[in-house]
């Protein structure tokens, strides 16, 4: 199963539809455009194994570029559109990218990228002149290149604890472009997605993230139609499910929170009866939020836990989750090991660093030290999450190791406090961090985005403290509440906590200098 085959048997079937505009591309059109892009890569001197980068908004051409790379054997490097010119230039240099595909939407930072990467070849969608993507693509033949092979994707971490690092996967054993990939099996056997071409898959998040790109292209391998949102909007997502009769979807917990904060009248306005499977991942989902989603959508809300590294995966369906609220499921790919600081495996119920054992593990591009840090002496790998398994092997996540706060010698995991805060009806989002404290080492700070910024102030702080008090140990109670209209959160749900920690650390240094 592959878009090449679907283009042959169902050329007029839509491969992707833009949820807002209704613009679409059929499998036949996508096949021709992918062939042209593979030809374009060769014309630009890129051979199998060479890297190129993509800095694009959600648009049809993302799939042209992806599937063309999957025929040219090249390494596609998706870049977050949230990054600055220096951050993008770092990824371009680190990945050895020979070409950047972007659009006029990012013309404002393209100058800064050029200054740092003066020799980089660039093609611009909607652009003009020698760098215009459209004419360059149209000039290429729509026939397959002579040396087709499967491409790779190299995803970069969000850089939440330092420089982003590229995850370079191993080359596939079968290099043919139509060879099956592991995610297809997970989609069918694990997630229950149909393989008969009937799927209509809603993708509400940016394609530069691992899950939207991976799962939506898996849907296309299975012959389904991807409905891609230009940008997530809570009511717009519900409208898209109704309009396009969506059967499958993939989300992050912040999407759930925002949809649940809609008025009941708005949530009840849309017909969601076509919706059969809703996957979510990327961050731990607060128990009350997931319970509310199951109450609303029914037992179709299934969760998985994985990472860009592809070292393992767990899966839990609604029925299992309702029996064990908070679990992210049992391993369906790889073997879980939970280890203490000395590397020894811990018994069920004890929190420790989560490792996956797998036959094939990736490396961090140009960073052997980070690769070594992620490895257990027995050859297992971790992505830095803390958690435990129960006696039946169900995994429960506690937090990221790098997010842990040490206050007065006590280890505090912010995720617990954040989960409680976002469950409050007046809170849209929350980030809990450790800020420098002369006496305790670190103090707990809650940075809160209210549903209505007009509520921000002492009265809301008092209400939140009263809400947290019976549910939270005193040492975990935030010493400071900071209300903001927005948090530095990626579209895939990940918080840029480093930005907040750096801000409060700088403030502490300034205060110390002023009082010296």
Sheet holding 480-483, edge to edge: 427-437, 441-450, 480-483
Q: Are 380 and 337 in contact (CB under 8 A)?
A: yes
Q: Which residues of the chain have pLDDT under 50?
A: none
CATH code for the domain in which residue 484 is found? 3.30.300.30
Are residues 510 and 500 part of one domain?
Answer: yes
Cα–Cα distance for residue pair 341/325, rounded to 1 Å: 27
> Is 196 part of any domain?
no
pLDDT at 162: 62
Q: Is residue 203 domain-resident?
A: no
Q: Which residues contact 38 (CB under 8 A, 6 or more apart)?
A: 68, 69, 71, 72, 144, 145, 148
Residue with tokens 């600081």: 341
Of 216, 236, 250, nearest to 78 by C-alpha is: 216
Judgement on whether residues 331 and 461 belong to the same structural domain of the protein = no
Helix (H, G, I), strand (E, B) or coil at 302: strand
- Whether residue 385 lies inside any domain: the answer is yes
End position of a domain, from candidates 149, 179, 209: 179
Other C-beta atoms within 10 Å of 271: how many? Answer: 11
469 and 389 in one domain? Answer: no
Domain boundary among 402, 424, 454: 402
pLDDT in the model for residue 516: 66
Packed helices 253-260 and 287-297: angle between N→C axes, nearest 10 degrees: 70
350 and 446 part of one domain: no
- Residue 321: CATH number of its domain: 2.30.38.10
The pLDDT assigned to 411 comes to: 81
Boundaries of domain holding 331 = 302-402
59 and 130 fall within a common domain: yes
The full length of the chain comes to 516
In a domain? residue 87: yes
Query: 418 and 397, same structural domain?
Result: no
CA angle 36, 41, 45 (to 5 degrees): 145
pTM: 0.86
Please check whether residues 380 and 500 belong to one and the same domain.
Answer: no
Assess whether 376 and 438 both reside in one domain: no
| Number of domains forming the structure of the chain | 3
Q: Are residues 463 and 321 in the same domain?
A: no
Interatomic CA distance for residues 423 and 410, integer angstroms? 25
Q: What is the pLDDT of residue 402?
A: 81
Position 229 in a domain: no
Residue 470 gets which letter from DSSP? G
Mark whether 498 and 387 lie in a shared domain: no
User: Rounded to an integer, what distance in angstroms lies between the CA atom of residue 58 and that of residue 54?
Assistant: 11
Instruction: Tokens for 56, please give them.
Output: 């694009």
Distance between CA atoms of residues 287 and 327, nearest Å = 9
Residue 33 shares a structural domain with residue 142: yes
Question: Residue 285: inside a domain, yes or no?
Answer: no
User: Is 128 among the domain residues?
Assistant: yes
pLDDT of residue 189: 80
Say yes or no: 354 and 470 in one domain. Answer: no
The residue among 402, 425, 444 that closes a domain is 402
- Whether residue 227 is contained in a domain is answered as no
């Amino acid at each position: 199963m592959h878009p090449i085959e679907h283009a042959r048997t169902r050329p007029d079937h839509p491969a992707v539809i833009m949820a807002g505009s209704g613009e679409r591309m059929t499998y036949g059109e996508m096949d021709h455009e992918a062939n042209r892009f593979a030809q374009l890569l060769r014309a630009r001197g890129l051979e199998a194994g060479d890297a190129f980068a993509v800095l694009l908004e959600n648009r049809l051409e993302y799939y042209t570029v992806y599937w063309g790379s999957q025929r040219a054997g090249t390494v596609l490097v998706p870049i977050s559109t949230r990054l600055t010119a220096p951050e993008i230039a770092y990824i371009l240099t680190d990945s050895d990218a020979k070409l950047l595909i972007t659009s006029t939407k990012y013309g404002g930072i393209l100058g800064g990228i050029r200054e740092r990467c003066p020799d980089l070849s660039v093609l611009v969608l909607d652009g003009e002149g020698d760098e215009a993507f459209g004419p360059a693509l149209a000039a290429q033949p729509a026939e397959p290149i002579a040396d087709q092979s499967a491409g790779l994707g190299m995803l970069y971490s969000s850089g939440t604890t330092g420089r982003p690092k590229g995850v370079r996967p191993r080359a596939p054993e079968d290099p043919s472009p139509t060879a099956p990939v592991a995610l297809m099996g997970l989609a069918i056997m694990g997630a229950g997605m149909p393989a008969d071409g009937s799927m209509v898959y809603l993708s509400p998040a940016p394609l530069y993230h691992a899950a939207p790109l991976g799962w939506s292209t898996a849907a296309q391998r299975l012959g389904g139609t991807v409905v891609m949102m230009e940008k997530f909007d809570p009511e717009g997502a519900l409208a898209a499910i109704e309009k396009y009769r969506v059967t499958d979807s993939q989300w992050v917990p912040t999407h759930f929170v925002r949809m649940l904060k809609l008025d009941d009248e708005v949530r009840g306005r849309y017909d969601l009866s076509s919706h059969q499977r809703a996957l979510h991942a990327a961050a731990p989902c607060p128990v009350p939020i997931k319970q509310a989603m199951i109450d609303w959508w029914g037992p179709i809300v299934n969760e998985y836990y994985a990472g860009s590294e592809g070292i393992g995966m767990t899966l839990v369906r609604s029925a299992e989750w309702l029996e064990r609220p908070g679990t992210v499921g049992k391993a369906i790919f790889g073997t879980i090991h939970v280890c203490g600081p000395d590397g020894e495996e811990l018994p069920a119920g004890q929190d420790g660093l989560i490792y996956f054992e797998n036959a094939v593990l990736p490396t961090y591009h140009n960073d052997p030290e980070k690769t070594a840090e992620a490895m257990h002496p027995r050859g297992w790998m971790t992505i830095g999450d803390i958690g435990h398994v129960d006696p039946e092997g169900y995994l429960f996540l506690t937090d990221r190791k790098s997010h842990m706060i040490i206050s007065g010698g006590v280890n505090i995991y912010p995720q617990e406090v954040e989960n409680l805060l976002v469950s409050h009806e007046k809170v849209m989002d929350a980030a809990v961090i450790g800020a420098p404290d002369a006496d305790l080492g670190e103090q707990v700070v809650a940075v809160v985005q209210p549903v209505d910024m007009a509520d921000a102030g002492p009265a809301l702080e008092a209400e939140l403290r009263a809400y947290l008090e019976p549910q939270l140990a005193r040492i975990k109670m935030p010493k400071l509440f900071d209300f903001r209209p927005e948090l530095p959160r990626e579209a895939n749900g990940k918080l840029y906590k480093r930005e907040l920690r750096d801000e409060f650390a700088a403030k502490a240094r300034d205060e110390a200098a002023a009082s010296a």
